[in-house]
Copies of this chain bind each other. A is one copy, B any other.
Amino acid sequence: MTTKEIWLKRLKEKGLRITSQREAIVDVLLNSEKALDSMEVFDLVHKDHPSMGIVTVYRTMDCLEHLGLLQKVHQDSGCNKFLRLKEGHHHLLICSNCGKAVYFEGLNFGDQFEKVAQQNDFLLQDHWLQLSGLCPRCQKI
């Protein structure tokens, strides 16, 4: 089962309908290696679906986020971009030039974070870690 099929199945399970617009938006999101905002998705989708309205993009992105398929990514360039969410625990490495996003695992600072929280009498709930730099391609430019 492809990722697209999984996503569409997820929509169906919630009683939501599969429309050609939603399929087109999902296609764009699954084929992008960087986080996209609604306007960027709209522009990309518009080529094949000239009649699609921007409002449908906003609504669909929102819907996919609520289903846990997309996540918001925070960057200096804005906090309204969405990236396909990867299952499990991981962090993000983002190219500061082109926006390419890579999930990585292997770092586990849980104990240290817990210690810092205790030192400040906080009850730790979550953490947020993101690395930024230049991806291989952008280093060569």
Interface residues of A (CB under 8 A from B): 74, 79, 93, 95-96, 102, 104, 106-107, 109, 112-113, 116-117, 119-136, 139
8 Å CB contact of A134 from B104, B123, B134? B123
Flag if B109 contacts A121 (CB, 8 Å): no
Q: How far apart are the CA atoms of A113 and B104 in the complex, in Å?
A: 11
Interface of A: prevailing SS: strand
User: Which chain B residues border A131 with CB–CB below 8 Å?
Assistant: 113, 116-117, 122, 124, 126-128
User: Which chain B residues border A119 with CB–CB below 8 Å?
Assistant: 104
Q: How far apart are the CA atoms of A76 and B3 in the complex, in Å?
A: 27
Flag if A136 contacts B124 (CB, 8 Å): no
